[in-house]
Amino acid sequence: MTTFQIGRRAEAKAAEYLKQKGLELLEQNWRTRYCEIDIVGRQNQTIYFIEVKYRSKDTQGTGVDYITAKKLQQMTFAAELWVAKTRWSGNYQLAAVEVSGPEFIVTDFLDDLS
């Protein structure tokens, strides 16, 4: 399996998990020439901009460990661009889903990265 295929499978598992948690999926792999967002969802009048992180093993840290200050800056830029393009005027926040192992199990969900 290629890294692209692994990423898509992890995102599909994350999307399935989020739907089971009651999140309405609005976008998957939203992209512009400047940025991308793995999943955009809505729950209780709040938009969530969700980064999906996959790790086959956690020997070098978990997926969430790889959300650095620079990644948060990129996520913020992408979220603000989405908000501007869609003219969303409500609440929004950054979130992350960690998917792990060969079975692609959701191992963590952080619903507020601020």
Write out pLDDT tens, residues 26-40.
999 999 999 999 999
Write out pLDDT tens, residues 5-34.
888 999 999 999 999 999 999 999 999 999
Contact residues for 52 (Cβ-Cβ < 8 A; gap 6+): 7, 10, 11, 14, 38, 39, 96, 97, 99
Write out pLDDT tens, residues 42-56.
999 999 999 999 888
Kind and range of the H or E run holding 65: none
- Tokens 């003219």 -> residue: 87
Both structure tokens of 70 = 């620079």
Write down the domain spans for the chain.
3-66+92-110
Higher pLDDT, 77 or 62: 77
Write out pLDDT tens, residues 69-97.
999 999 999 999 999 999 999 999 999 99
Q: Could you report how far apart the first and last alpha carbons of the chain are, in Å?
A: 34
Question: How does strand 24-31 pair with strand 46-55?
Answer: unpaired
**Structure pTM?**
0.91
The highest-level CATH class for domain 3-66+92-110 is: alpha beta
Of 110, 21, 102, 9, whose CA–CA distance to 66 is shortest? 110
Both structure tokens of 108 = 């963590």
